[in-house]
């Protein structure tokens, strides 16, 4: 009898240890699954932003197409095309006046200045077109960088919650004090439903 009580006690203690171990394992699996889901969600968000950024870097406007913001593509191409045209036109004029300045400045009688401008006027014209050519190049680089930034931000904001649960109300505020002075202002009311 005594021997059987020891076996029963040993069996019960092992059974509870096994049951506890099984419940801990299931909790670990649940924790691992929730962490895996969080990592997968984070990876999906950031990998889509990374993909949109890379696509927009390689071909301007492709990141916007990936984000399904097709209306931005013509704006990007119009800006880059217009700035490219402006830069090329200014570069041609810069080259034209630069060549004529070189022809005017050298002492070779076989080279002829094709314009009626003097050396100082040619220098002025050359600098004018060089300045606007450089502005077109810098503006093109800015549009290209904004294209990349826009694709990245749009990809990040895909998962942003814009629901009816959030509301912001702006109302005028006025109060008449006891000494007949009027206080005015604005009140902001933010509601989370």
Summarize pLDDT for 52-95 with one digit per residue, the tens: 999 999 999 999 999 999 999 999 999 999 999 999 999 999 99
pLDDT score of 121 more than 60: yes
Contact 139, 146 (CB under 8 A): no
- Confidence (pTM): 0.63
Cα 109–114–82 angle (5° rounding)?
Answer: 140
Summarize pLDDT for 124-137 with one digit per residue, the tens: 999 999 999 999 99
Task: Return the beta strands (E) in the chain as ranges.
Answer: 166-176, 182-192
Summarize pLDDT for 132-185 with one digit per residue, the tens: 999 999 999 999 999 999 999 999 888 776 666 677 788 888 888 888 888 888
Q: How far from 32 is each of 25, 38, 60, CA to CA, in Å?
A: 10, 10, 40
């Amino acid at each position: 009898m005594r021997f059987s009580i020891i076996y029963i006690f040993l069996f019960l203690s092992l059974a509870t240890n096994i049951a506890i171990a099984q419940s801990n394992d299931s909790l670990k699996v649940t924790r691992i699954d929730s962490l895996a889901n969080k990592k997968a969600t984070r990876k999906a968000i950031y990998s889509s932003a990374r993909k949109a950024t890379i696509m927009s870097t390689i071909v301007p406007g492709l990141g916007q197409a990936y984000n399904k913001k097709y209306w931005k593509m013509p704006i990007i191409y119009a800006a880059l095309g217009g700035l490219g045209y402006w830069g090329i036109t200014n570069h041609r004029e810069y080259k034209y006046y630069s060549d004529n300045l070189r022809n005017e400045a050298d002492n070779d009688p076989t080279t002829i200045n094709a314009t009626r401008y003097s050396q100082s006027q040619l220098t002025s014209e050359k600098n004018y077109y060089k300045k606007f050519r450089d502005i077109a190049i810098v503006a093109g680089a800015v549009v290209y960088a904004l294209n990349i930034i826009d694709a990245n931000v749009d990809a990040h904001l895909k998962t942003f919650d814009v629901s009816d649960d959030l509301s912001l109300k702006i109302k005028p505020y006025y109060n008449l004090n006891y000494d007949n002075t009027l206080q005015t202002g604005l009140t902001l009311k933010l509601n989370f439903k």
